[in-house]
Homo-oligomer: A and B are copies of this chain.
C-alpha cells in the first residue's frame, strides 16, 4: 500500500467541511473563468500567424520582439521592457542528403543547431549505422575513420517525457564521432513520431566538431535496412553560417503586487523557436499559458499581494537567456520569491509540484481541492526542474514550482515542421491556463517564504 500525503488528507477534510471563501473563492473563480477564456488561444494564434518561426538571428526574431512588447502592453502589463544580451546565432542554409549507392534515394534531413557546414562540394562517404548511442561511446579510437556515423536509437514514448532525456544524449554526439575519425554525424530524429519530418535541436558536444544532422525516423531505418545488405554511400550537404555576436533579448512585463510589489514571482515561456515549424507548442504555448494566466489575475478588482512578472525568454533553444536573466537580476535575487516556466506544450497538466517552503504549509492544503476539477494532483515533493530558462535562478537559490503536463504527444512534433497551431488542443491549453491562474493567484497572494524551511 502507499500512504496519502498530508496535503491530500487536509484537502479531503476541506471538501467535507468548508464552503469556498476568501482567497480560495477568487482562485476557483479564476480557474473556472480561464477554462473558457479566449486569451491564451488568441495569443498563440497571433504569434504563429503574425510571426511564425523565430530563431535567433532571423528577421522574424526581431518581429517576435516587437510582437512581445506590443502584446504585453496591449494586455495591460506594467513595466514592459526588453533586456538585451549578445550571443552567437547559428543560421541554417540549404541542406540535402541522398543515398548515392547502391539504392539511390533522397533522404529527409535537417541540420542540428551549431553544426559545422559541409565543405562546398559536399561530403560523400560510407555510412556506419549504430543502433544505440552507447555503441558509439564503446567504439575504439579511429573506428569510423573516413565514414559518416548514424546513431539510429529510437526514442521511447512516455507520459512524463523521460524518454527524451534518454534519447537526446545522442544529439550531442558529434564530438564523440569526430574523436573516432568520422567525417559527419547523423542521428535518428529524437522523436516519438513515425513521420518522415526530421526534428532539429542543438548539437552541443565539447568538440572537436563535424557536420551534424538529424534524419527523419523512417530515413534512419531505411539506411539501417540498406546497410544490412552491404556498404551504403551517401552524399551530405549542410550549409550554415554563424553570426558571432547576435543581439538577443528577454522581454518582461508585470502585474504589480498590491501589498508587496517588490516581492516578485517570475513566470514565463520562451519566445524564440526552432525554424521548421511555427513554434506553437515550443514554446508559443508556454508564452500563451503564462501570459494569459497573469493577464486574468491582473484583471481582478484587486491584485494579489506580490508582483507577478511574466518573462518571454529570448534564447532557450540555443541557450543563453537563463544566464542573461540571472546576470541582469543578481541585485534582486533575494526578492524573487518564486519562479516557474511553462515549456512542454499545450497538453493537459497532470500534477503540480510546489516549492519546498509550500509543500507542507497548511495555507496550501487547499490546492488539491482547487485543482481536482481540473484533474490535477498535487505532489508531496518539490520539483527538481521547472524549465531551462530559470535553471540559473534555481541554481542561485530561487524556489521553483512546476506543472507537469502530459508529454505523450509532445515529442511527435517538437523541433519539427509539425509544430504548428494545427496540433494544439485548445481545451488542454485552457486547462493549463486555469491551473496556472488559480494556483499562481494563491502563491502571489501568500506571505510565506517559499525557500526551504529548516526542519523543525
Contact = CB atoms under 8 A, between A and B. Distances in A.
Contact of A226 (B49, B60, B104, B106): B49
Interface in A47-69: 48-53, 59-60
Interface residues of A, number: 34
B103 A52 contact: yes
Given A49-B226, A196-B277, A218 B103 contact: no
**Chain copies in the assembly?**
2
Given A218-B278, A222-B49, A226-B49, A417 B196 contact: yes
A418 B278 contact: no
Interface in A271-292: 277-278
A48 B222 contact: yes
A196 B104 contact: no
A245 interface: no
A241 B421 CA distance: 35
Interface string A171-211: 00000000000000000000000111100000000000000
A47 to B, nearest CB: 11
B195 A418 contact: yes
A233 to B, nearest CB: 15
Interface in A302-337: none
A420 interface: yes
B417 A60 contact: no
Nearest to A50: B103
A218 B104 contact: no
A44 B103 CA distance: 15
A106 B92 CA distance: 14
A221 interface: yes
A196 B413 CA distance: 10
Contacts of A226: 49
Contact of A197 (B195, B217, B229): B195
A225 B423 CA distance: 15
A103 B51 contact: yes
A218 B421 contact: yes
Given A196-B420, A197-B196, A222 B278 contact: yes
A60 B104 contact: yes
A422 interface: yes
A221 B103 contact: no
Interface of A: 45, 48-53, 59-60, 103-106, 108, 194-197, 216-218, 221-222, 225-226, 229, 277-278, 417-418, 420-423
